[in-house]
């Protein structure tokens, strides 16, 4: 079992989390066994777990072969897409009953399913029923539907919505030529109109109404601090008025409405030296009229820590440096300020602090707060790190990040560029910064011109990678900062973290469109690092896959250049679309899927894979429902593995 494999006596399989999980109802159980009557019969008739395993394995093998020969009783009537989904679901079920996978996951999914089938039909008479969550039952109800060829993938989810609104589905195989072209174009117009209604739910910071609202917010902040419009566009003024510490909380309470829980979470964060801070510019993106998060939920979630996060950080103040180091950076640092996980790129951490702290920061184990003097290394330390890059000709790409390196003054940034440009082996110099989002006025003409001056066509490129989370963060100020960089030949890319706050239907599509308007190219869509303190931000891996196939695919290719990836702890980036790079190996009684992630070195070097416990799909859908979404709109999520 790998380092985070969950054993059978792992407290995460019992205790408070399971106690809170709702026991499945009789109705849900009846629906489950209705979808899988043969499985139910095998499980009920098997006196032992191992007999159930053997009989199920034979049944699945026989069923798969029947599908493959298109047996008239089982396979011939299936749509080709349902046929493919059924075969995939059979493979998943085989994985779930595999003894090998039980050892890896530390839990026997089959045992829980067998005990459930063995129990009487009363929810009060069986320990198995009491211990199982609805999420577990729903996983198998949908798996059995898929195995039976009834997933509904062939119809899709948007098609039925269009039909309900009067759009007649056309069999394009029966018409040809101009008639077919016109009919298809008309259908696509109606499809696009429907998509637009979803996208319009997520306003952009480029919308005139939002721009005017934020001008009023800006003036309120300036009046509060006694500043002028000229001050607003001075980076130094922004840095001097960062909201941090107890004074920052007091200012925040004066400027914007907050809930009691938000105030308490920030107060505890301040008292316990948990990183927290907001720039005046980013504060202007808040809703100054309401704390209901109806419009600004993506923005507030970036900087106001949830209570669970604060409590976990407090519990581990003493061992924070190692406990929260999810990616094991301590073990990938050959020298101070350097992280190296891959063959031809390494990270230079030129700063260990930021003007504003993202709640879900990967490096919350080392960043202590906004603009902390101790977070800026000395020039001697930076030079030692640059000497290392000079001595390692394998380094084709250097990522300068932090913290946020753009808090350094132009002279320091120029020094770093001077040193790197003297290294013939460095082909790409990449700056990782959230400054375009948190303080875009820092991207001055002078800074952009200086960075761009190091581009040598055919020899060296310079790029900036930023971190836009939502269309609501894409503002005229951000667009202007990006344009200053692009005028100098500097490409600007984005890495979005796919959180609960940004995962609604077509929300990331809206963000991609807004980014393209501002000249930013999507680069990665990151599954949020599954750090336990970030529980409130996590989404199921299946939702990332679903978004890519069912929403991103409707955009032009140049709008969806981002790849969905997961940073596997201690291993590195894993491309989620590749089945060969991850396996679903178990479903826990609390409804959480367990995956085995393969390392990026697979096929290159011998490295052990990693067991990861995902967020339960059922819990995620309930959270979306709480936020006003209809879970039925996400129904196909269960069929992404």
pLDDT at 124 exceeding the cut of 70: no
For range 485-512, the mean pLDDT: 96
Is 64 in the same domain as 98?
yes
Domain hosting residue 64, numbered range: 1-154+573-641
* Structural domain count of the chain: 3
Instruction: Lay out the sheet containing 610-613: strands in order across.
Output: 582-587, 593-597, 610-613
pLDDT at 530 exceeding the cut of 90: no
What digits encode the pLDDT tens for the residues 554-602? 999 999 999 999 888 777 888 887 677 899 999 999 999 999 999 888 8
For range 94-112, the mean pLDDT: 97
Q: What is the mean pLDDT of the chain?
A: 89
Is 12 in the same domain as 104?
yes
Q: Where a domain ends, among 519, 539, 559?
A: 539
Residue 461 near residue 429 (C-beta atoms within 8 A): yes
Q: Where a domain ends, among 487, 516, 539?
A: 539
Q: Is residue 557 part of a domain?
A: no
What's the half-sphere exposure (Cβ side, CA atoms, 13 Å) at 340?
Answer: 18
Task: Please name the helix (run of DSSP H) or strand (run of DSSP E) that holds residue 302, with its range, or none.
Answer: helix 297-303
If we measure between CA atoms, which residue out of 465, 372, 381, 445 comes closest to residue 416? 381
Q: Is residue 535 part of a domain?
A: yes
Contacts of 71 (CB under 8 A, 6+ apart): none
Task: Count CB-CB contacts under 10 A for residue 520.
Answer: 26
**Buried b or exposed e, range 252-289, using 16+ CB within 10 angstroms:** beebbebeeebeebbebbbeeebbbbbbbbbbbbbbbe
Q: Per the structure block, which two tokens stand in for 204? A: 């952009």
What distance lies between CA 29 and its chain's CA centroid? 32
CATH number of the domain at 429, please.
3.20.20.70
d(CA 137, CA 33): 10
Sign of CA dihedral 439, 445, 450, 451: positive
Q: Is residue 550 part of a domain?
A: no
Residue 220 near residue 253 (C-beta atoms within 8 A): no
d(CA 468, CA 436): 9
What digits encode the pLDDT tens for the residues 616-637? 999 999 999 999 999 999 999 9
Task: Please name the helix (run of DSSP H) or strand (run of DSSP E) that holds residue 386, with its range, or none.
Answer: helix 379-390
pLDDT score recorded for residue 21: 44
Q: Per the structure block, which two tokens stand in for 430? A: 């990449």
Is 333 in the same domain as 482?
yes
Task: Count CB-CB contacts under 10 A for residue 441.
Answer: 18
pLDDT at 15 exceeding the cut of 60: no
> How many distinct helices (H) and strands (E) make up the chain?
28, 12
Strands (E), 23-117: none
At 603, is the pLDDT very low, low, confident or very high (cuts 50, 70, 90)? confident
For range 175-203, the mean pLDDT: 93
């Amino acid at each position: 079992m790998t380092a985070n494999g969950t054993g059978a006596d792992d407290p995460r399989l019992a205790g408070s989390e399971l106690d809170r999980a709702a026991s499945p109802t009789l109705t849900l159980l009846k629906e489950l066994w209705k979808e899988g009557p043969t499985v139910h019969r095998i499980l009920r008739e098997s006196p032992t777990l191992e007999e159930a395993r053997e009989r199920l394995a034979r049944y699945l093998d026989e069923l798969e072969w029947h599908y493959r020969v298109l047996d008239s009783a089982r396979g011939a009537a299936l749509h080709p897409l349902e046929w493919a989904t059924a075969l995939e679901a059979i493979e998943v079920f085989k994985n779930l009953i595999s003894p090998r996978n039980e050892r890896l996951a530390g839990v026997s999914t089959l045992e829980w399913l067998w005990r459930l089938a063995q129990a009487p039909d009363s929810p009060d008479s069986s320990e198995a029923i009491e211990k199982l969550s609805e999420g577990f039952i729903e996983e198998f109800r949908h798996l059995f539907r898929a195995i039976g060829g009834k997933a509904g993938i062939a119809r899709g989810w948007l098609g039925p919505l269009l039909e309900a609104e009067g759009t007649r589905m056309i069999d394009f195989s029966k018409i040809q030529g101009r008639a077919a072209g016109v009919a298809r174009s008309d259908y696509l117009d109606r499809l696009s109109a429907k998509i637009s209604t979803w996208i319009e739910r997520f306003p952009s910071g480029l919308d005139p109404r939002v721009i005017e609202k934020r001008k009023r917010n800006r003036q309120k902040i300036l009046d509060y601090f006694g500043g002028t419009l000229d001050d607003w566009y001075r980076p130094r003024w922004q840095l001097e008025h960062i909201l941090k510490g107890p004074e920052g909380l007091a200012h925040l309470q004066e400027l914007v409405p907050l809930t009691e829980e938000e105030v308490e979470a920030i107060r505890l964060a301040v008292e316990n030296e948990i990183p927290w801070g907001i720039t005046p510019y980013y504060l202007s993106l808040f809703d100054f009229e309401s704390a209901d998060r109806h419009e600004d939920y993506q923005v507030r979630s970036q900087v106001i820590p949830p209570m669970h996060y604060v409590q976990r950080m407090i519990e581990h103040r003493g061992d924070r440096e190692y406990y929260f180091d999810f990616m094991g950076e301590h073990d990938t640092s050959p020298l101070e300020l350097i992280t190296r996980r891959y063959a031809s790129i390494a990270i230079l951490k030129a700063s260990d602090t930021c003007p504003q702290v993202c709640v879900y920061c990967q490096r919350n184990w080392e960043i202590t707060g906004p603009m902390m003097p101790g977070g800026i290394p000395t020039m001697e330390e930076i030079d030692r790190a640059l000497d290392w890059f000079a001595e390692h000709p394998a380094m084709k790409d250097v990522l300068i990040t932090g913290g946020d390196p753009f808090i350094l003054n132009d002279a320091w940034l120029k020094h770093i560029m001077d040193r790197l440009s003297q290294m013939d082996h460095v082909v790409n110099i990449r700056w990782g910064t959230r400054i375009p989002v948190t303080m875009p006025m820092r991207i001055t003409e002078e800074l952009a011109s200086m960075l761009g001056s190091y581009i040598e066509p055919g020899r060296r490129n310079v790029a900036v990678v930023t971190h836009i989370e939502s269309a609501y963060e894409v503002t005229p100020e951000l667009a202007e900062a990006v344009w200053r960089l692009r005028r100098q030949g500097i490409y600007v890319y984005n890495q979005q973290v796919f959180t609960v706050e940004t995962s609604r239907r077509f929300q990331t599509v809206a963000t991609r469109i807004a980014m393209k308007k501002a000249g930013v190219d999507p680069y990665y869509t990151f599954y949020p690092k599954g750090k336990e303190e970030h529980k409130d931000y996590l989404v199921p891996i299946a939702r990332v896959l679903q978004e890519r196939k069912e929403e991103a695919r409707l955009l032009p290719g140049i709008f969806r250049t981002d790849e969905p990836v997961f940073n596997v702890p201690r291993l590195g980036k894993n491309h989620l679309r590749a089945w060969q790079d991850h396996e679903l190996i178990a479903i826990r009684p609390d409804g959480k899927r367990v995956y085995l992630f393969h390392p990026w070195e697979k096929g290159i070097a011998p490295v052990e894979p990693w067991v990861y416990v995902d967020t339960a799909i059922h819990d995620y859908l309930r959270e979306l429902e709480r936020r006003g979404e209809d879970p039925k709109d996400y129904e196909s999520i269960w069929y992404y593995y």
